[in-house]
Structure 1
């Protein structure tokens, strides 16, 4: 274990929480990042908990990459080191919370308390006035280890509405900002959350206009003043072994497969891997010389017809599987590799057929939450977030272990050299297990025998 620096770094920091989901945390965090970026400041933004979609919006606002910051999934030392590094270059650190401030174990409030970061809470004030003060008072007084910085009222209907809220607050809970009740400030969403960036230039341009409009609403509010500086110390970080030196990792990345944590990519490179990105939508085959394959999550259901039509890529994946190349498929990647996928319109598409199973999208029911994956190579931590189910599958190798519930988590499948699950893995949670997972090549004979045991060799 090693820490490269020992000095304390100081940087203004603020965690944007709320009483619940759907209050406008992402809009406020993005607006605040956008405002300070327009003032020429460097802004480091983090998202509490696992999330692929909100960070894309926040990254556009801040013009810098956004990392997840989760005490359970990543660990305190990793989180501490990320904050310490950010304090070395940023003029402001912003953290968007998850769900309500005290929801989950650990919660966003736990994160703020652990690192001494002041908290502001966003409240959707539609349909209330003075009651906003009671909610803010409860959030501020619920724990004595939280530094409560003030309230942000969202969806405020008029100046009179704003004044009623402001007048009802106690003197030590300031109203930092109000956002007006305007539909154009609402960020668009679909079944898994916010609509991601990069889908079309037109959509990205419209999103930039929304972020600028949201930032404009903060002008002249107390919220634009830099919050108190926080002292950050380095975390004890482990230098990964070069266990992937010389290995080429083929990683699916296109409109259908977008759920990559930057921390996962950095770890692969730190362990010596060469990253080869490819598109299951557009490319005819896997990159030359691939030693392992990672198919992350995304939105294959929105591109199922195009994925199904690219038979040369599917043939290339089959050939790699037959050669025993290690393959990891997460959530959307697993749905792509199964035999069939029924999309949100009810249309069923023939998919890659590398893994027995029929995927089916659902508009409401699904699974989300923190889970660890007990693999033969070791246990990695991660999470589930999907509105889908699979049936007619193999018998699972194992099930995910939920962080705060005893019920079995997501099924984990092992088919030859292919490991697949609805789980999204956070690679830094166990680099050694990851390295073993991506280097365990099976001989063609052993590989065929594994398929025959399940009775489903492609």
Structure 2
């Protein structure tokens, strides 16, 4: 009989996006990992960028938790497994605490995880206390850890914020903001993580500077009451994660097949759980760089994930050897599944935000254009071969193509509609869409996209 796993756990949330919860989560993970503790970090909802920072900070894989995309049973299984091998679990929320359906608050209440609210207090004083009170009491029964003030101007400012709290025990400390010139305005400063149009810059792009930023943030957090808690203090937030039900059997539909996965600076939007799902399906996974490699590795199928092709369009077009290799793969009628940025790279051309046009690989008819505003955002589902994949869409570009449209995505619990949602294109052995799939939600659909119906002949 599998018993519950008990482990201190905190869900780091905020009243809105942009408050600093990613920095605080990564700093807390780095602080405890430096002290030799086993830390596992999770991210609420679909997100490819924040987990790069959390994995660097914790030294452990980072998985998503979403009561709709994963499903409650999958979330329970991941939390129970992580709690059984960790000293501390951290879950970064998404958007504001109560935003979305399901929200970070829904996840916290379902699993009894205390909420730490991170609030950008740079332009407030007494209102900080009202905001903390509202977050704590808006929903009855919400597990609560406290509030951390971010981007605070001075020690005096921090004291004003603390004095405004109705419950002094809510105070988890203050992080002093970074001045415009880069120097700290007080004794400590939380390092800011760099951003671009889809979110944070991927940690690996910054090399050693990424770890230096995390260390600076961890050092700042170490001066707060939250950062000074050892394992004994963290036990106040210990949670019993119940044993999950029996795992759903994943049939080995990709047994004997090799799936080549693109992975580099332009193609980096990959859930670790998706790679795990491919392994459960029996596939051997190999990686390659679409930007730098001259040819695909020996494989039966290719997955081109999303990323930033718009930042590397010239290099993509210049790698004609990879283009030739991809064409040969498709000419041999071997499957290729391309998601979002992976799909974009297969079109004939891209018009960038500055109006210039760059050629791309041209394996898909049509073109893609970048925009300064979001073109689509939100949870989506896609039916493939009778199985429904869950996932999301998030992109700043639009595409025009004459390729066949096999189907379209729809929002949760709604039926697909003509000319709505994201198109699922098919062109020869290529399947492509802006849709980012969460593979564990429908492994059989993934196997279909990658050509698997059992052992390779």
TM-score by length of 2: 0.91
Look up the SS of the partner of 1:155 in the other structure. Answer: strand
1:180 aligns with 2:170: no
**Aligned twin of 1:131:** 127
The 5 Å alignment of 1:38-53 reads 38-53=34-49
Look up the SS of the partner of 1:206 in the other structure. Answer: helix
The match for 2:389 among 370, 374, 380 is 380
The 5 Å alignment of 1:51-450 reads 51-171=47-167, 174-183=170-179, 185-199=191-205, 203-224=206-227, 225=229, 226=234, 227-236=236-245, 237-288=247-298, 290-394=299-403, 396-403=405-412, 408-439=420-451
Alignment length (residue pairs): 433
C-alpha contact 1:338 1:352 (8 A) present in aligned 2: yes
In 2, Cα distance between the equivalents of 1:381 and 1:90?
A: 29
In 2, Cα distance between the equivalents of 1:61 and 1:79?
A: 22
C-alpha contact 1:384 1:422 (8 A) present in aligned 2: yes
Superposed displacement of residue 126, structure 1: 1.3
C-alpha contact 2:264 2:289 (8 A) present in aligned 1: yes
The match for 1:35 among 28, 31, 36 is 31
In 2, Cα distance between the equivalents of 1:365 and 1:383?
A: 14
In 2, Cα distance between the equivalents of 1:366 and 1:175?
A: 40
C-alpha contact 2:9 2:89 (8 A) present in aligned 1: yes
Superposed displacement of residue 213, structure 1: 1.5
In 2, Cα distance between the equivalents of 1:38 and 1:365?
A: 38
In 1, Cα distance between the equivalents of 2:147 and 2:413?
A: 30
Look up the SS of the partner of 1:166 in the other structure. Answer: helix
1:18 aligns with 2:14: yes
C-alpha contact 2:336 2:430 (8 A) present in aligned 1: yes
In 1, Cα distance between the equivalents of 2:62 and 2:442?
A: 21
In 2, Cα distance between the equivalents of 1:431 and 1:404?
A: 19
In 2, Cα distance between the equivalents of 1:163 and 1:197?
A: 34
Unaligned segments of structure 1, at least 5 residues: 442-458
In 2, Cα distance between the equivalents of 1:312 and 1:137?
A: 60
C-alpha contact 2:262 2:290 (8 A) present in aligned 1: yes
Identify the range of structure 1 (354-363 vs 150-159) with the bigger mean alpha-carbon deviation: 354-363
Superposed displacement of residue 364, structure 1: 2.2
Superposed displacement of residue 172, structure 1: 6.1
Q: 1:112-157: CA deviations, max 9, x gaps?
A: 0000000011110111101011111111111112112111111111
In 2, Cα distance between the equivalents of 1:217 and 1:372?
A: 41
C-alpha contact 1:410 1:423 (8 A) present in aligned 2: yes
Unaligned segments of structure 2, at least 5 residues: 183-190
Identify the range of structure 1 (398-407 vs 25-34) with the bigger mean alpha-carbon deviation: 398-407
In 1, Cα distance between the equivalents of 2:79 and 2:382?
A: 27
Look up the SS of the partner of 2:19 in the other structure. Answer: coil
In 2, Cα distance between the equivalents of 1:22 and 1:403?
A: 26
C-alpha contact 1:381 1:426 (8 A) present in aligned 2: yes
Superposed displacement of residue 82, structure 1: 0.7
C-alpha contact 1:149 1:173 (8 A) present in aligned 2: no
C-alpha contact 2:254 2:452 (8 A) present in aligned 1: no
Superposed displacement of residue 46, structure 1: 0.4
Identify the range of structure 1 (353-362 vs 47-56) with the bigger mean alpha-carbon deviation: 353-362
In 1, Cα distance between the equivalents of 2:355 and 2:321?
A: 26
Task: Decide whether aligned partners of structure 1 residues 134 and 173 sit closer, same or farther in structure 2, where only a CA change above 3 A counts.
Answer: farther
In 2, Cα distance between the equivalents of 1:116 and 1:393?
A: 50
TM-score by length of 1: 0.91
C-alpha contact 1:17 1:97 (8 A) present in aligned 2: yes
Look up the SS of the partner of 2:11 in the other structure. Answer: strand
Look up the SS of the partner of 2:203 in the other structure. Answer: coil
Coordinate RMSD, CA, aligned:
1.7
In 1, Cα distance between the equivalents of 2:425 and 2:452?
A: 16
In 2, Cα distance between the equivalents of 1:148 and 1:62?
A: 23
**Aligned twin of 1:446:** none
Q: 1:301-334: CA deviations, max 9, x gaps?
A: 1111111111121122112212211111000000
Superposed displacement of residue 365, structure 1: 2.6
